[in-house]
Amino acid sequence: MKMQLGEIASAVSAQNDTSAWNEIEVSSVAFDSRHLASGALFVPLEGERDGHEYVSNAFKNGAVATLWKADHGKAPADVPVLVVDDPLTALQALSQHYLLKINPKVVAVTGSNGKTTTKDMVASILSAQFNVTKTLDNFNNEIGVPVTILSMEPNTEVLVIEMGMDRPGQLDFLSRLVEPDVAIITMIGEAHIEFFGTRDKIADAKMEITHGLKADGTFIYDGDEPLLAERAKQVSQRKQTFGRRKTDDMYALDVKETDTQTTFTASEWPDQEMTVPMIGDYNVNNALAALSVAQLYRISPQASAEAFTHLDLTENRAEWVDGSAGERILSDVYNSNPTAVKEVMAAFSQVDTVGKRRVVLGDMLELGDQSARLHASLASAIDPQLVQDVYLVGPEMKALYDALQDKYDAAHLHLYGTDEQSNLISQLKGDTGPSDLVLIKGSHGIHLENVLAALQ
């Protein structure tokens, strides 16, 4: 991003006279005064802390200008300031202005599971032929999407945007903000069911990603999900499905798994084997969604297969790391929901080992009134013949602990409070040997990354 402050002032409808600063060049935006690059425009957001309190710190760290909320008192007079009605709305307006200016193709991805992996896969494949910018980390909400847009280099040809949601209307806003050329829904699960109540309502909210889809755009979705198939009938744009059935436009053939990779062929390219360097049959659907985009943008099957071999994957999504005792740890600590746990448990339980398999599961958040039932339902995915020790963390995991009582004795089933991670770490270190396998998975709010770090 490179824009003069005068252009930015016009894009965000600044209320004050900025003529004295119009030629100041801005090279990035930032909302954290501690972490910004020289040349940044600081965006003071109001949340748990008021960003306006950190404007002076932002300038000390290299900011060249700041936004300022009009009703927030007198703006600083000694630094370049753009006075706006609301800094967040201004950030979003600026991102839309910049998006129209660069004018890349936009691929938007959402889904209860797999959206980050699919985003990474799509970006990797399209990079074989285009200059691509993709969402970094979890920048997938009303703040993160505009920041991602504004991070684009001027030569960006395709923007791959991940979109998250935790309430109705959120994807509608984001979709209309970016007006995607391609909209992808990976699947419908129980994530955020606390806010929606049913999977039907989750599907309704996910479908909002199509609300801003260009008239000549394409909607790509899981054709094996009845909730999506029914709703897709209301979408007038071109549609493509992926899945495991021959009725899908892109379906998988000859799937084979190991502990480090999954191979398959796609129905459209049956002569080209695809190898995804990730554990789990469930990642095949993510790959099929990405291959649907490849086909749309005329990326060859050979180039797509090559792109899979060097995926740039976001950290802490089903990633193998080494423990200090010599054990292998499958780290999946970024997020968790019932579908995701069952999928990764199925893959982990089949990984060969001469040692023991141990699982550490943290609370799955945002499940609302159905939390106890959904936590207890994980018991069906845990087989004591395949998983020898289970360590559960958080108050919601008490339901699973109770459901596993008839499968495990007290020596092999453990429950810890969220404030008892030190005890968990000590127990794991004492129990785990060099030939063992350990799975660690939980919602980000449980912070099992601390357990992971202690074992490494």
Binding positions for ATP are 111-117
Q: Which amino acid is at 313?
A: L
β-strand partners of 159:
106, 133
The SS3 call for residue 29 is strand
Q: How far apart are CA 239 and CA 234, in angstroms?
A: 11
Nearest one of 60, 1, 58 to 27, comparing CA atoms: 1
For the purposes of burial, counting CB atoms within 10 Å of the CB of 6, is it exposed (0-12), middle (13-18) or buried (19 or more)? middle
Return d(Cα 425, Cα 447) in angstroms, integer: 13
Look at strands 328-332 and 319-322 and give their pairing. antiparallel
Angle, in degrees to the nearest 10, between helices 199-206 and 170-178: 20
375-379-381-387 Cα dihedral, nearest 10 degrees: 120
User: HSE (CB half, 13 Å, CA atoms) of 293?
Assistant: 35
Q: How far apart are CA 362 and CA 161, in angstroms?
A: 28
Binding site per annotation, positions: 111-117
Whether 338 and 108 have beta carbons less than 8 Å apart is answered as: no
Q: Which of 66, 77, 70 is nearest to 43 (CA)?
A: 66
CA dist 408 → 2, 341, 357, 387 (Å): 60, 19, 14, 10
By CB atoms closer than 10 A (0-12, 13-18, 19+), residue 96 is middle
Beta strand spans in 353-402 (E): 357-362, 389-393
CB proximity list for 51: less than 8 A, separation 6 or greater: 31, 33, 42, 43, 44, 45, 87
Q: Token digits for 170?
A: 């959120």
